[in-house]
Amino acid sequence: MVYLDNAATTKPCAECCKAVAKAAAERFGNPGSLHKMGILSEQIISSAKRTILNALGGGGAPEGEVIFTSGATESNNTAILGAAEKYSRNGRKIVTTAIEHPSASKVFDILAERGFEVIRLAPKEHEDFVGAIADTVDDNTLMVSCMAVNNETGYAVDTARLYGLVKRANPKAVVHIDAVQGFLKMPLEGDLISVSGHKVHAFKGIGSLYIKKGIRTAPLVVGGGQQKNLRSGTEPVELIAGFEAAVKAYRGSAERFAELKARLLDNLSGMSGICVNSDEKCLPNIINFSVLGIRSEIMLHALEEKEIYVSSGSACSRGKKSGVLAAFGISDRDADSAVRVSLCADTSESDIDFLCENIENNIKRFRRS
């Protein structure tokens, strides 16, 4: 099997599986219990929080809180709705982008219905995208929300620069970053940062939200008051243990991904009718390209016959046209034949070569010239 759909989800690593099994066997106490079993579980949670804070800060933990959620969908919902609730007195304008994942963009649809002014900027319209986002911020802006890395193309945003410029334009504006595809791959800065476990070789069903010191937010899930009242529900200690282990064991490297991307592009350059949609502004682990004349689904299933797994655009959109590629200036025709290849530390040269060999075969098989 050649698995090249790591932006959709990753294989849980051995370290994660071991940590989950160990916690399930030995640390199954409720972290809210006052006895020793509870305290042992609580220790897993505090250790995992420290590990995630360190990973966010690239070694030096930023000041703030980490709460565990069921995944980045919940983290994004909590961050955006919570900030809108707590900071609505600061203004009615929200600045975001036209390339957000639905777990953020659909929350902005709801806020727009509630009367907030939601501005969504598209990269195709701005050579300096970060500068354009910051230029849109004014005194009436309560929040800026921007993903660190786009899940369909790998397009990356300098979040430190964005943060600095936004705060210069309006120090009160809260900056939310959906860092699902950027976590562990690039430096991150934000007041609220969403992360997902299953994109970094942990299990599905666990994510986190970083809340910078001094930033207020409201809970999405209320109940027993766990996690300082910010997210009720008994913490999934096993999943949290696995998340921490996966973060510590993460082996992806930008240099390695760049080598593999170069190999893929080199192979593709020898084929006719290929249009590469991921440019130099993109992280090298996500490569989006169009095989003109062959619909994405046809290519995806033909590759699947050879046990090669890629994606057509975003896995979350389940074959529906996402509109995100259009915001990058990619035509409908090219978007219809877009293939997304996403790498992980286990991806090898022979995986890339086998993929390319089969793309070439499928071009001969399906393309009418």
Of these, 48, 142, 146, 147, which contacts ligand PLP (CB under 6 A)?
147
68, containing H or E segment: strand 64-69
Is 73 a binding residue for ligand PLP by CB under 6 A? The answer is yes
Helices (H) and strands (E) in the chain, counts: 12, 12
> Closest separation between CB of residue 102 and ligand PLP, Å?
8
- Take residue 95 and report the two structure tokens written for it: 């600045």
> Closest separation between CB of residue 201 and ligand PLP, Å?
13
Q: What is the dihedral of CA 268, 273, 277, 281, to 10 degrees?
A: 60
How far CA 239 is from CA of 1, 33, 197, in Å, comes to 26, 18, 9
Compare residues 147 and 211 and give the one whose CB is closer to ligand PLP: 147
DSSP 150: -
Is 77 a binding residue for ligand PLP by CB under 6 A? The answer is no
Q: Name the nearest CA neighbour of 47 among 248, 261, 230.
A: 248
How far CA 104 is from CA of 74, 83, 96, 107, 350, in Å, comes to 10, 13, 9, 5, 36
| Range in contact with ligand PLP (rule: CB under 6 A) among 88-96, 177-185, 237-245, 303-311 | 177-185
Per-residue buried b or exposed e for 273-285, using 16+ beta carbons within 10 Å of the residue's own CB: ebbbbbeeebbbb
Token look-up 């992980």 returns 344
Is 351 a binding residue for ligand PLP by CB under 6 A? The answer is no
Compare residues 91 and 236 and give the one whose CB is closer to ligand PLP: 236
| Range in contact with ligand PLP (rule: CB under 6 A) among 178-186, 262-270, 274-282, 346-354 | 178-186
Whether residue 275 lies in the annotated active site: no
- Take residue 291 and report the two structure tokens written for it: 């095989």
Q: Point out the catalytic residue in the list 146, 282, 316, 344.
A: 316
Residues contacting ligand PLP: total by CB under 6 A: 13
> Closest separation between CB of residue 145 and ligand PLP, Å?
11
Task: Find all residues with CB under 8 Å of 178, minimum gap 6, and list them.
Answer: 72, 76, 100, 101, 103, 104, 145, 146, 147, 148, 194
DSSP 252: -
Strand partners, 2: 308
Compare residues 166 and 180 and give the one whose CB is closer to ligand PLP: 180
> Closest separation between CB of residue 71 and ligand PLP, Å?
3
| Range in contact with ligand PLP (rule: CB under 6 A) among 35-43, 173-181, 211-219, 256-264 | 173-181
Is 180 a binding residue for ligand PLP by CB under 6 A? The answer is yes
Is 72 a binding residue for ligand PLP by CB under 6 A? The answer is yes
| Cα gap 108→149, rounded to integer Å | 19
Per-residue buried b or exposed e for 169-184, using 16+ beta carbons within 10 Å of the residue's own CB: bbeebbbbbbbbbbbb
> Closest separation between CB of residue 318 and ligand PLP, Å?
12
Cα-only R_g, the chain: 21
Compare residues 79 and 180 and give the one whose CB is closer to ligand PLP: 180
Residues 300-319 that bind ligand PLP (CB under 6 A): 316
Residues 184-213 that bind ligand PLP (CB under 6 A): 196, 207
| Range in contact with ligand PLP (rule: CB under 6 A) among 46-54, 82-90, 175-183, 230-238 | 175-183
| Cα gap 310→4, rounded to integer Å | 5
Of these, 101, 176, 261, 340, which contacts ligand PLP (CB under 6 A)?
101
Compare residues 206 and 359 and give the one whose CB is closer to ligand PLP: 206
> Closest separation between CB of residue 181 and ligand PLP, Å?
5
| Range in contact with ligand PLP (rule: CB under 6 A) among 71-79, 288-296, 340-348, 356-364 | 71-79
> Closest separation between CB of residue 338 and ligand PLP, Å?
16
Q: Which residues are catalytic?
A: 316
Q: Where on the chain is the footprint of ligand PLP (CB under 6 A)?
A: 71-73, 101, 103, 147, 151, 178, 180-181, 196, 207, 316
